[in-house]
């Protein structure tokens, strides 16, 4: 079974609108971490946001927020007020194996295109 | 302020050749890892290390060797390159004891096997 599932290969959003990128995960660990990364066409991996499994509140970082639904095992990324520079690949990732977990798993990514 | 440095950035090999992809970090991170990125498949973990002298296999280890003699360096060796190893390779590092901190990635090595 896939550890991280991103079901949206490609998404389009109008500039200034909000967009949600879906991510579901599979783990039997109680302690795990969830991350979102952005990969622009230049290729580097840029960290966006983190959510810990014990965090009761959804994480937020500027225009990025993480909609964490633990019972559903989902960790969707919400980008508010989309900008042209948000056009990129977005990867959801999970670190499991307790607080010093050694395994990171990545989803297949979602390609986001922001339309002017 | 180097972070994670990967060399080379690009490489073309012939089938059967060997080579080493270099990775160095200057953040004193215990955890280092190698991924390959293929179209439509995201990043897949090849090997990882939790400290000098300690390495373990990830999801796709076949055809690759690693060693970790120092905290800073984590080279990835292809012993006999195959066309299936054509990919973009990323090295990453993080603190092992700070799970809320993200991995830092190098800029990647684009490898083509002919």
CB contact under 8 A, A31 and B105: no
Chain A residue with the nearest C-alpha to that of B96: A100
Q: Please determine, for residue A109, whether its predicted confidence score (pLDDT) is greater than 60.
A: yes
Structure confidence at residue A101 (pLDDT): 62
Structure confidence at residue A10 (pLDDT): 95
Sign of CA dihedral A45, A24, B56, B64: negative
Structure confidence at residue B39 (pLDDT): 85
| pLDDT, greater one: B59 or A76 | A76
Which residues of chain A make contact with B48, given a CB cutoff of 8 A? 102-103
Which residues of chain B make contact with A24, given a CB cutoff of 8 A? none
pLDDT bin (cut points 50, 70, 90) of residue A43 is very high
Q: Please determine, for residue A100, whether its predicted confidence score (pLDDT) is greater than 60.
A: no
Structure confidence at residue A48 (pLDDT): 96
Report the half-sphere exposure of A95 (CA within 13 A, side-chain side): 26
Structure confidence at residue A104 (pLDDT): 85
Please identify which residue in the block is written with the tokens 């990835």: B76
pLDDT bin (cut points 50, 70, 90) of residue A99 is low
Per-residue pLDDT of B70-104, as tens digits, reads 999 999 999 999 999 999 999 999 988 777 778 89
pLDDT bin (cut points 50, 70, 90) of residue B4 is very high
User: Across all residues in chain A, what is the average pLDDT?
Assistant: 93
Structure confidence at residue B97 (pLDDT): 75
Q: Please determine, for residue B32, whether its predicted confidence score (pLDDT) is greater than 60.
A: yes
Structure confidence at residue B40 (pLDDT): 81
CB contact under 8 A, B99 and A35: no
Q: At residue A41, what are phi and psi to the nearest 5 degrees?
A: -65, -20
Structure confidence at residue B9 (pLDDT): 95
From residue B55, alpha-carbon distances to A41, A90, B40, B99 in Å are: 31, 28, 27, 19
Q: What's the CA gap between A30 and A113, in Å, rounded?
A: 35
Would you call A44 an interface residue with chain B, using a CB distance cutoff of 8 Å?
yes
Mutate to test the interface with A, among B6, B23, B32, B42 (most CBs of A within 10 A): B42
Structure confidence at residue A25 (pLDDT): 97
Q: What's the CA gap between B91 and B36, in Å, rounded?
A: 9
Nearest to A106 among B42, B56, B108 (CB): B42
Which residues of chain A make contact with B90, given a CB cutoff of 8 A? 45
Kindly report the nearest CA distance between residue B29 and chain A, in angstroms.
Answer: 13
Per-residue pLDDT of A9-34, as tens digits, reads 999 999 999 999 999 999 988 888 99
CB contact under 8 A, B102 and A35: yes
């Amino acid at each position: 079974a896939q550890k991280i599932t991103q079901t949206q290969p490609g998404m389009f959003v109008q500039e200034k609108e909000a967009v949600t990128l879906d991510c579901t995960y599979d783990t039997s660990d109680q302690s795990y971490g969830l991350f979102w990364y952005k990969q622009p066409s230049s290729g580097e991996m840029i960290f966006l946001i983190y959510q810990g499994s014990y965090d009761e509140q959804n994480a937020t970082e500027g225009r990025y927020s993480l909609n964490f639904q633990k019972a559903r095992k989902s960790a969707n990324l919400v980008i508010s007020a989309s900008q042209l520079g948000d056009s990129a690949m977005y990867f959801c990732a999970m670190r499991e194996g307790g607080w010093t977990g050694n395994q990171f798993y990545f989803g297949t990514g979602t390609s986001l295109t922001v339309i002017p | 302020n180097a972070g994670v440095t990967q060399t080379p950035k690009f490489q073309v090999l012939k089938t059967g050749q060997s080579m080493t992809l270099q990775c160095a970090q200057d953040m004193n991170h215990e955890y280092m890892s190698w991924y390959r990125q293929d179209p439509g498949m995201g990043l897949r973990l090849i090997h990882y290390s939790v400290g000098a002298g300690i390495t373990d296999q990830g999801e796709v280890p076949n055809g690759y060797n690693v060693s970790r003699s120092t905290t800073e360096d984590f080279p990835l060796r292809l012993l006999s390159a195959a066309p299936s190893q054509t990919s973009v390779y990323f090295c990453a590092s993080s603190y092992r004891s700070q799970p809320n901190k993200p991995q830092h990635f190098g800029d990647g090595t684009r490898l083509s096997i002919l």
